[in-house]
Amino acid sequence: MSHSLQSGRPAHWLDKPYYSLHAYCRHTFHEKLYKIAIDAGMTCPNRDGLLDTRGCIFCSAGGSGEFAVKAQGRSVAQQIQCGLTLFRGKQTGERFIAYFQAFTNTYAPVSRLRTLFTQALETPQIAGISIATRPDCLPETVLCLLTDLRQTFPDKFIWLELGLQTIHPRTADYIRRGYPLSCFTDAVHRLCLRRLPVIVHIILGLPGENRRQIYETISFLNTLPVFGVKLQLLHVLEGTDLAADYRAGMFRLPDQEQYTDLVIGALERLSPEIVVHRITGDGPKNLLIAPKWSLHKRAVLNRIHQEMRRRDTWQGKYAPPGHFSV
């Protein structure tokens, strides 16, 4: 979307100094879309032995899907109905996003994926689906399926969420990401050609990364046709190898003030065209070892917003012009 910046903040950003998902949904769908997290019973090549059995170093046993409606053998359609029931009585809009969150949600036969995604897309209250996956799990057969589904459900959207985390190979090796940067850029371009919007997950505060490296990752995103970004605070979860390194004192996490400063710097360097889906983390309470301050999510967000107002700054303040329009 192209727009002119007035005082750094376009009107469609609403009350935030960045282009939030909330603002995007209000602008595009005229209501806020809440997410219903789905556990579709997937696994991941980083866990099933194809690439590794240990998973990414920060990934919990639930494959980062602890917020999914407790699946217990339930179909996608049943999980969506459970999610809708949980939202009943709360102040929400009419429509929701089905978020295929746990593990790698394109790592299955195409026929199975078709069934899973169709169940969500044919639910009237679902405005669209967001599919968390890996760039090395997007063969052309899957892209054909997604293109086909988009044509079958023309009034619904299909977003892809890719966990890049960092552009730096040494950090990518440490976290056991399992694919090179070229695989990511190739996937983004192939998805763009098919007009399938991409949301990129970046972790701020990975061990061994300094501020300059984090901002290099942000600047790199500005050069790609990326629709959205999730800026995630690094969480240390029980049962992960990251937790062992943390307890061994191998790295320190940013405190809340340091994180506030870090995330503001990231937003300042991010193109104002890219929708910001998240600026903090949402670690499962029962597994979170550190940082505990992140549990107070509302306070974390308020602090970031207050500080951005105090500094009179906004998303893209220091980003060069010319991001791809998607």
Nearer to ligand SF4, 39 or 273 (CB): 39
Give min distance, CB of 245 to ligand SF4, in A.
16
H or E element, residue 108? none
Nearer to ligand SF4, 27 or 176 (CB): 176
Return contacts of 180-188, CB within 8 angstroms, 24+ apart: 183/135, 183/136, 184/135, 185/224, 186/135, 187/135, 187/136, 187/138, 187/162, 188/135, 188/162, 188/224, 188/225, 188/226
Q: Is-contact 96 69, C-beta < 8 A?
A: no
Give min distance, CB of 58 to ligand SF4, in A.
7
Give min distance, CB of 17 to ligand SF4, in A.
30
Nearer to ligand SF4, 46 or 106 (CB): 46
Nearer to ligand SF4, 59 or 199 (CB): 59
Alpha carbon distance 172, 124 (integer Å): 40
Residue numbers at the binding site for ligand SF4 (CB under 6 A): 44, 46-47, 55-56, 59, 63-64, 103-104, 134, 163
Give min distance, CB of 217 to ligand SF4, in A.
17
**CA 15 distance to own-chain centroid:** 22
Helix (H, G, I), strand (E, B) or coil at 52: coil
Q: Could you tell me where the beta strands, DSSP code E, fall in the chain?
A: 34-38, 96-100, 126-133, 157-165, 198-204, 228-233, 236-237, 275-278, 288-290
Q: What angle do CA 143, 148, 154 make, to 5 degrees?
A: 120
Give min distance, CB of 201 to ligand SF4, in A.
9
Nearer to ligand SF4, 63 or 316 (CB): 63
Nearer to ligand SF4, 170 or 296 (CB): 170
Give min distance, CB of 205 to ligand SF4, in A.
16
For 39-65, letters b (16+ CB in 10 Å) and e give: bbebebbbbeeebeeebbbbbbebbbb
Amino acid identity at 80: I
Nearer to ligand SF4, 163 or 205 (CB): 163
Give min distance, CB of 59 to ligand SF4, in A.
3
